Chains A and B, each alone.
Chain A
Amino acid sequence: MARRMPTWVLGLFCGFVLIGSGCGNRVLEVEGSVEFDGVAVASGSISFEPADGPGRDFGGVITDGKYKITSPPGVEPGAKKVRIRAARKTGRQIPAGSPSPPGTMVDELVVVPANYNDSSELTAHLEAGVANRFDFKLVSGSPIP
């Protein structure tokens, strides 16, 4: 005496499955390379914030001049403000100072200027469903070329 399921029930079920699996888990993917004064950034961070309106930021690390980031689910595509924090070593060693134990030495650094991070002028337009690619060439002490 098994009755057949009405077609609309099946349709509704499939609809819910599609909504549940599709829209909710959308992520953005972005990758690229970062150079500072012509040299690949050995270690740094890059973040993408909504350029305007609501939304959340996401980011990741730059390693050996490259980054590859998948955003958390629910990040909207669109115009993003990009912030890059990195430095290059001068090759000299300087004392770390407290609270590191006395005698600890660290690398002297030249940091990426503020117009790439705190007052960033870098932007990127991220699209959903494609592998976004943005390469950045940063220079110290002068505006973005």
Chain B
Amino acid sequence: MRNSLFRRTPRLANQPGFTLIELLVVIAIIAILIALLVPAVQKVRESAARMQCTNNLKQIGIGTHGYHDANKRLMPGYNYNATTDISEATWLYFLLPYVDQMQIFATANLSQNFGSLPNANSTLNGYLPAVYSCPSDSMVAKTCWNFYIKGSYAGNDGIGPMVSPAGGWTGPGVTTIGVFMMNTKITMTDITDGTSNTALASEIIKVTGATDDLRGVMYYPEGPLYQHNTGPNSTTPDNLRQGACMNVPEAPCIGTTYTAYNNRSLIMAARSRHSGGVNLALADGTVRFVSNTVALTTWQALATIRQTDVPADF
């Protein structure tokens, strides 16, 4: 009995069939092959998602240049003036017609504040164009305050903290000027550091969880602008609005140092769910992958538009 279970007897050697051991060996080999294949499939999946994220950022870069060609200047980071423009419409809003999103762009009403929903701008704020969504960051995030859906991209707001003084980007408290700031209307030639030495946009993580966290919100100033105070995917917590911080390991934050639009002190690092770094669009339209280990001095040199600081190789 034992003999026939584990070894073919000479009598059965020329008959079809196989022993239990042979079966187990075959199953073991198949298991090993699957074990090799599954991580590879996951890697291919992430690599495809990352490519899509890079491509979206490229589209955003090209769209920004399209806007610049049509308007002879870049769009503002966000618009706000107590008497002439109370919309707080952000750069991602002004970019919409240049990334084939004319229909949703046309639903907006700039005489109503983008931050006081519900109003005429609820439809706009509840729609996520595919080009603003990175599949690596596709986790379903809570819609902020029931109206604000979140994207995955943010514009270079310089080195913060981001403040919103009456004078806009030339007002008090603004330290280092980036490409997209309050009421900016700069041109490509204002970027005297060189467009290939200056960041245009990068990625941010939208977090999941019970708390309303504005990071990633597309059409309100506290969502689609990031600062170069800390490196990509830094462990230093972001500085967010009181009560609007969902602290998670991949996107740490504190929400305890400012309370409202008129005392903003926002710092939001570029973050992504890709392993090891973030995608970065430069003002010349190229997209690079920047490692988390990039020197902070290099990363900060990328933020500035006119400080004659050329970043080291990165």
Contact with A along B276-312 (1 / 0, CB 8 A): 0000000000000000111111100000000000001
Chain A min CB distance to B119 (Å): 10
Contact with B along A43-62 (1 / 0, CB 8 A): 11101011001111111110
Expressed in whole angstroms, the Cα–Cα distance for A74 and B156 within the complex equals 27
Given A45-B236, A45-B237; A60-B252 close (CB under 8 Å): yes
Contact call A97/B261, Cβ cutoff below 8 A = yes
Decide if B188 is an interface residue (CB 8 Å cutoff): no
Decide if A14 is an interface residue (CB 8 Å cutoff): no
The count of A-to-B residue pairs whose CB atoms sit within 8 angstroms is 115
Contact call B256/A42, Cβ cutoff below 8 A = yes
Expressed in whole angstroms, the Cα–Cα distance for A100 and B126 within the complex equals 16
Q: Which residues from chain A contact B220 at a C-beta distance below 8 Å?
A: 99
Question: Which residue of B161, B247, B260 contacts A61 across the interface (Cβ within 8 Å)?
Answer: B247
Contact with A along B119-150 (1 / 0, CB 8 A): 00000000000000000000000001101100
Decide if A111 is an interface residue (CB 8 Å cutoff): yes
Contact call B247/A96, Cβ cutoff below 8 A = no
Contact call B231/A57, Cβ cutoff below 8 A = yes
Contact call B230/A86, Cβ cutoff below 8 A = no
Decide if A109 is an interface residue (CB 8 Å cutoff): yes
Expressed in whole angstroms, the Cα–Cα distance for A72 and B276 within the complex equals 12
Decide if A71 is an interface residue (CB 8 Å cutoff): yes
Contact call B261/A59, Cβ cutoff below 8 A = no
Question: Which residue of B148, B254, B258 contacts A44 across the interface (Cβ within 8 Å)?
Answer: B254
Q: Which residues from chain B contact A71 at a C-beta distance below 8 Å?
A: 235
Segment from B38-46, B52-60, B66-74, B109-117 that makes contact with A: B109-117
Decide if A106 is an interface residue (CB 8 Å cutoff): yes
Expressed in whole angstroms, the Cα–Cα distance for A42 and B256 within the complex equals 9
Find the A residue at minimum CB distance from B113: A98
Expressed in whole angstroms, the Cα–Cα distance for A74 and B292 within the complex equals 11
Decide if B170 is an interface residue (CB 8 Å cutoff): no
Decide if B239 is an interface residue (CB 8 Å cutoff): yes
Expressed in whole angstroms, the Cα–Cα distance for A25 and B56 within the complex equals 34
Q: Which residues from chain B contact A42 at a C-beta distance below 8 Å?
A: 256
Given A54-B297, A106-B243, A118-B175; A97-B260 close (CB under 8 Å): yes
Contact call A109/B235, Cβ cutoff below 8 A = no
Chain A min CB distance to B158 (Å): 13
Q: Which residues from chain A contact B235 at a C-beta distance below 8 Å?
A: 58-60, 69, 71-72
Contact call B230/A61, Cβ cutoff below 8 A = no
Q: Which residues from chain B contact A44 at a C-beta distance below 8 Å?
A: 254, 256-257
Expressed in whole angstroms, the Cα–Cα distance for A123 and B44 within the complex equals 44
Decide if B265 is an interface residue (CB 8 Å cutoff): yes
Chain B min CB distance to A78 (Å): 13
Contact call B259/A111, Cβ cutoff below 8 A = no
Contact call A106/B234, Cβ cutoff below 8 A = no
Question: Which residue of B116, B212, B257 contacts A87 across the interface (Cβ within 8 Å)?
Answer: B257
Q: Which residues from chain A contact B212 at a C-beta distance below 8 Å?
A: 100
Q: Which residues from chain B contact A47 at a C-beta distance below 8 Å?
A: 230, 234, 236
Find the A residue at minimum CB distance from B242: A106
Q: Which residues from chain A contact B292 at a C-beta distance below 8 Å?
A: 56, 72
Decide if A66 is an interface residue (CB 8 Å cutoff): no
Decide if A37 is an interface residue (CB 8 Å cutoff): no
Q: Which residues from chain B contact A96 at a C-beta distance below 8 Å?
A: 242-243, 259-260
Expressed in whole angstroms, the Cα–Cα distance for A56 and B299 within the complex equals 9
Contact call A60/B145, Cβ cutoff below 8 A = no
10 interchain residue pairs of minimum CB distance: A59-B236, A54-B295, A47-B236, A97-B260, A99-B115, A45-B237, A98-B115, A43-B256, A98-B116, A87-B257
Q: Which residues of B contact A (CB under 8 A)?
A: 113, 115-117, 144-145, 147-148, 161, 175, 212, 214, 220, 230-231, 234-237, 239, 242-244, 247, 252, 254, 256-262, 265, 267, 292-298, 312
